[in-house]
Structure 1
Amino acid sequence: YNLALPLIREVKDRQGESGVLNGLGTTYSQLARPDEALRSFQSALPLAHDVQDRESEAMTLCNLMSTCAKAKQFTLATAYGKQAINVFQTVRGHNQNLDTELQRSLLAKNRIIYERVASLMIKQNQLEEAEQVLRFLRQEDVVAFAKRDAQFVKELTSLSQPLLFTSAEKAQLPPAIAESATIGQGVQESRLWQQALQEREKAGDGRVALISTFNMEDGVHVILTTSKGRRAFSSSIKSADFDVLSQRLQDSLSQPDKDPRPDALKMYQVVFCDGQLEQALQQEGITTALWFSSGSLRYIPIDALYDGTHYLVQKPRANVYVTLASRRFFEAQSHGAALVAGVSKAHEMAGHFKGDAPLQFGALSNVPQELRSIVRDEAEGGTGPLAGRILLDHQFTAANLEKSLSQGASVVHIATHFALSRTEGSDSFLLLGDGSALPLTKWKEALKLKGVGLLTLSACETGIGQSDASGGEVSSIGEVSQYLGAQSAIVSLWPVADSSTADLMSDFYKRWHGAPERGKAWALREAQRALLGTNTAMPADLMLRGKPQQQDGNGGITFIKDLKHPYAHPFYWAPFSLIGNWK
């Protein structure tokens, strides 16, 4: 590198000179020569900035951040990290017209940098800024679904405000870089969330908290936001170990012959930071916890975590998931008819590729009673608590569903099979009553859910996102539905059993209709607790709603069934989670 520098300077290749200096700085870092590394990176930075090579500028800023952090110069490291994020956000804004897969690849490559900056911010007690970095990551999870919705893209962009700097941070940046650094305190979106919590408490909704979680290289970080302020907690667990634990727990939760409690206890200890978070929630008197997470924790129902004595669903606190869009729906109220639709008959569908075996979808014999227990529809024999309309089997077509939605509905409930493709979002679909598929792209692009207070997808794995080739995650059908206008959604996290799902949903709607002032989260939790403790006999056959899944059946601790409580395993009562407005 030292031999190359005079040569590249001689030909006045400033962009190339910046690259050589970055390589030289990286080499000095590897040789444990931090002062020389720092000087190399500092020399590279203005060159990349002057030639407007934004990606190289951002990476140089990241190198400076890492070098300063190793030297325990945390204020300067945070300043470089903030500016790196701001430059990356500018680059991402310019890349909106790129191929979606290329965008995801770029995000996956830079995700670790975002996480490192957030970790630095947490250590510097800049908690609002750390929350904003998490929002940046979540924005890219959903942007691909929103490209045809100009209004949503505009709203999404409004959340991407540049990170602000303290005067001390800006003073330490090189002059050319400091010009674009704005001095200020806090993050508007974080303050709006805190204001929303204050307003809900004034409205009599109890004590509400926002819990933001980060799974990073150095551990799991948790930020607790209440109406009064913010606090941070952490657990020391490597990111790879956390992902292994998460996957193991997902497997045991979704297989009723495995005991999830050992791993559910370990996950509880990690997420609740060895009891510190639980103690804080109790001290604050929190009655509703809103979880804003990224990564694999999104696919673990918080209520299925185990504290060593009880599942969290057996505690009085409600746990709800929230999205970037949730805040705007906290005060929304919808009143009107319900639309319920479902499939009860067996169907066969051709495989996706030539030569693939056809997909076999078994009959869901409990769906007709499930729908009738929700809605009063004399023509279809409905005797449920909600006024509305039933679309069953041949009536449940894409055209009828779209037409009914256009006429307005405050509650939409769909009970059918959901076929999840874990590699291509466009291959995932809901099965319609005529045997055709309603692909995920149809939900994203055609069906309008504005004015819908609750969308319930009583199907298989509707809350699971898709994993792309770079390892990043994009949003699921349940979360996307909220972006399309639904104030809240109930979605499933693994293949659900037909019989227990019908019982759970019937009980949920009866409780919610009977005490609407207590809210959806309360009604769902009470219905889950009732199913957990029920002594109703289990059907001999276990029909799952969704594309047939193959389980390896290996490993794990065998779950000892309680004949007095046949649905005690979380597989039956815990698959559904509420997203958004909990009231």
Structure 2
Amino acid sequence: MGDRAGEGLTLANIGLTLEKHKELELAIVFYKQSVNVREGIRQDIRTLPREQQESYTQTVANSYRSLADLLLSQGRVLEAQQVLELLKIQELRDYTRDTRAGGETQGSPLTPVESRVVPPYNNLVNLGLKLTECERKPPYCSEREQLRALRDQANAEFNKEADKLRALAKQQRQRDPAQIQQEELTVAAQKVVQSQPKTVLIYPLVLEDKLWLVWGTQAGKQGVVFNSKVVPVGRKELATTVVEFRQLLEQPGDVKELQKVSQKLYQWLVAPLRAELDSNHIQNLVFSLDRSTRYIPMAALFDGKKYLIESFNTSTILTAGLTDTSDRLSPKIDNDPVLALGLSEQVGDFKSLPNVQDEINGIIRSQVNPNGIYPGLSLINKDFTKDAFKYLIDHRILHVATHAQFISQNPDDSFLLLGDGNPFKIPQVKTLTDLGGIHLVVLSACETARGGEDKEGIEVSGLSYYFLTSGAKSVIASLWLVNDASTSQLMRYLYQNLATGKITKTEALRQAQLTMIAGNQQNNNNKDRSSVRLTPGNSGQDASISRNLSHPYYWAPFILIGNGL
């Protein structure tokens, strides 16, 4: 019929039916074919009304999740990891409405034995169509009996190949898992794990009735080996706990209550792996998060005694395939000049951010400011216009300290606020041509990594995604409204740590956070780098108060996405 979307849906429904009948090997074949059809028609859905697009893409995502779940239940962890990568790319494409996001994808390849099931299945469908047309109404066509015989023959051939598939699957389950993984491991995932010693790559997969943890580690001569474990917590309970955690995080309140909820999440997301992490002396946790887990600052998970950041370096990636680990900052700071752009004055209805000036002065070293850390160029307030981005080509780090707003319903309307009061919108970020040499983008602004109330959490990539896909290697961004003074302090610690030239970006951020956890007292005037507009009578000049910056509200919002080296 030429209805490719209908074909993909039908194949998924056949997979679901086979799964319910415990024909798991065959179900995997049909789910894979469904995924591959959807990969092939990504461009077509843009012509559908938005409501139909959302319905269709949700159905597609469910097919990816069902396939990954089945593969994991069969111990086919590497194939599941590849499907999880496809799922994340598909979600990015749907959210950004960019069918090219994530580059070219090859779908979920069928194994040679799985491929042998497809021709007799297709033949069976074609014969069924002809027989249906023949028997539409009497008198039936003269080829009726012949078509029936051919259909029965095709059905027997299909069952024959299906039996071979079942037999081989049984044999495969008896093979050495390490040998299978050596044959199947994707290069991208391998590079992420091997980018630095003692690293683990972790994929949570959130399903309606359970949570899968899929993780890959370096295992000596075996290379990178992936494993999986199921956790008995469903999507709804997990999401409810995440919401409670975030509400407690977004204001410096009762830390004991926060730690109690945080420990609950830790028990689901990290505790099942902790013994292996410790026995392998793991130091670096790289998360590729799913659904509501994207809203969690993993560094703030609490194990009962201390936060995760006190034991591990933590970072996140959008997908392994979109993470370029081939580059890192130079150990000599003069080789990594910084372009610092900021807004400290009140512009229109957006309140002033008085600490931005000190923040940037503490970062940029120049003739007029010899006490800064890095060489570079600073453009603040009226000098921070869209033309400021033309200086990207001469720098390795981009630091932006201003108001920001991410609009979940329409990402193209999201913006960074320029010093002249104009918004720098997503379409303009997409046109930046000199980000290829930028190794790190620091978005020292509010909620640059989080948008609206999307329960799936895909908007957490926020503005970060657009910088990464334009060539930048990594982004540090915030998950909630950040405090102006404490952010300025954290940024100074971050750049001081980077300037040593001895540690990675992830470690530099971690050490900055640990400094604040240690109980540093800082006088701050409680201004948020938010996009909240002033109302009459609210000048934004809150009274100065002294607070202990060890509360996660102050240090946990900033996450590193991408290359953590």
TM-score by length of 1: 0.77
Tell me the alpha carbon deviations over residues 259-284 of structure 1, each in whole angstroms, 9 at most, x when there is no partner. Answer: 42122111111112xx2211122222
- The counterpart of 2:264, out of the listed 266, 285, 289, is 266
Tell me the alpha carbon deviations over residues 480-533 of structure 1, each in whole angstroms, 9 at most, x when there is no partner. Answer: 21111111110000000001000100011001111x231111111011011122
Distance 1:571 1:161, change over 3 A: same
- TM-superposed CA distance for 1:328, in Å, is 5.1
Q: Which amino acid aligns with 1:458?
A: S
Distance 1:287 1:79, change over 3 A: same
Distance 1:139 1:467, change over 3 A: farther
Tell me the alpha carbon deviations over residues 127-157 of structure 1, each in whole angstroms, 9 at most, x when there is no partner. Answer: 2222222222222333378788xxx93x834
Distance 1:403 1:93, change over 3 A: closer
Structure 2 distance, partners of 1:549, 1:188, is: 56
Q: Matched residues, percent identical? A: 29
Within a 5 Å distance, the mapping from 1:459-478 to structure 2 comes to 459-465=445-451, 473=459, 475-478=461-464
Structure 1 distance, partners of 2:366, 2:47, is: 47
Within a 5 Å distance, the mapping from 1:248-287 to structure 2 comes to 248-259=244-255, 260-272=258-270, 275-287=271-283
Within a 5 Å distance, the mapping from 1:367-516 to structure 2 comes to 367-379=356-368, 381=369, 383-399=371-387, 401-405=388-392, 407-446=393-432, 448-465=434-451, 473=459, 475-514=461-500, 516=501
Q: Which amino acid aligns with 1:431?
A: L
Residue 494 of structure 1 aligns to a residue whose secondary structure is: coil
- TM-superposed CA distance for 1:390, in Å, is 0.7
Deviates more, 1:323-332 or 1:435-444: 323-332
Structure 1 distance, partners of 2:499, 2:32, is: 48
Match status 1:70 vs 2:15: no
Tell me the alpha carbon deviations over residues 302-324 of structure 1, each in whole angstroms, 9 at most, x when there is no partner. Answer: 11111111111111x21111123
- The counterpart of 1:137, out of the listed 83, 87, 90, is 87
Tell me the alpha carbon deviations over residues 528-562 of structure 1, each in whole angstroms, 9 at most, x when there is no partner. Answer: 011122332433x3100011299xxxxxxxxxxxx
Distance 1:78 1:440, change over 3 A: same
**Is there any run of 5+ residues in structure 2 with no aligned partner, and where?**
126-160, 166-171, 173-179, 219-223, 330-334, 535-544
Deviates more, 1:475-484 or 1:135-144: 135-144
- TM-superposed CA distance for 1:327, in Å, is 5.6
1:321 matched to which residue of 2? Answer: 316
Structure 1 distance, partners of 2:277, 2:549, is: 29
- The counterpart of 1:211, out of the listed 194, 202, 208, is 202
Match status 1:571 vs 2:553: yes
- TM-superposed CA distance for 1:118, in Å, is 1.1
Distance 1:101 1:383, change over 3 A: farther
Structure 2 distance, partners of 1:188, 1:411, is: 38
TM-score by length of 2: 0.80
Q: Do the aligned residues in 2 keep the contact of 1:196 with 1:327 (CA within 8 Å)?
A: no
Q: Do the aligned residues in 1 keep the contact of 2:102 with 2:322 (CA within 8 Å)?
A: no
Q: Which amino acid aligns with 1:392?
A: I
- TM-superposed CA distance for 1:164, in Å, is 2.4
Q: Which amino acid aligns with 1:443?
A: V
- TM-superposed CA distance for 1:124, in Å, is 1.1
Distance 1:99 1:458, change over 3 A: farther
2:4 matched to which residue of 1? Answer: 54
Residue 110 of structure 2 aligns to a residue whose secondary structure is: coil
Structure 2 distance, partners of 1:429, 1:133, is: 32
Q: Do the aligned residues in 2 keep the contact of 1:377 with 1:390 (CA within 8 Å)?
A: no
Q: Do the aligned residues in 2 keep the contact of 1:222 with 1:234 (CA within 8 Å)?
A: yes
Structure 2 distance, partners of 1:336, 1:531, is: 26
Match status 1:331 vs 2:331: no
2:512 matched to which residue of 1? Answer: 527
Structure 1 distance, partners of 2:431, 2:181, is: 35
User: RMSD of the TM alignment (CA)?
Assistant: 3.1
Distance 1:538 1:474, change over 3 A: closer
Q: Do the aligned residues in 2 keep the contact of 1:533 with 1:565 (CA within 8 Å)?
A: no
Structure 2 distance, partners of 1:478, 1:365, is: 25
Q: Do the aligned residues in 2 keep the contact of 1:372 with 1:382 (CA within 8 Å)?
A: no
- TM-superposed CA distance for 1:450, in Å, is 1.2
Q: Which amino acid aligns with 1:140?
A: Q
Tell me the alpha carbon deviations over residues 220-257 of structure 1, each in whole angstroms, 9 at most, x when there is no partner. Answer: 11111123311001211121221111122111111222
Residue 347 of structure 1 aligns to a residue whose secondary structure is: coil
Q: Which amino acid aligns with 1:390?
A: S
Within a 5 Å distance, the mapping from 1:89-104 to structure 2 comes to 89-95=39-45, 103-104=53-54
Match status 1:544 vs 2:489: no
- The counterpart of 1:244, out of the listed 240, 245, 267, is 240
The count of residues paired between Structure 1 and Structure 2 equals 492
Structure 1 distance, partners of 2:337, 2:527, is: 30
- The counterpart of 1:517, out of the listed 492, 496, 502, is 502
2:71 matched to which residue of 1? Answer: 121
Match status 1:110 vs 2:60: yes
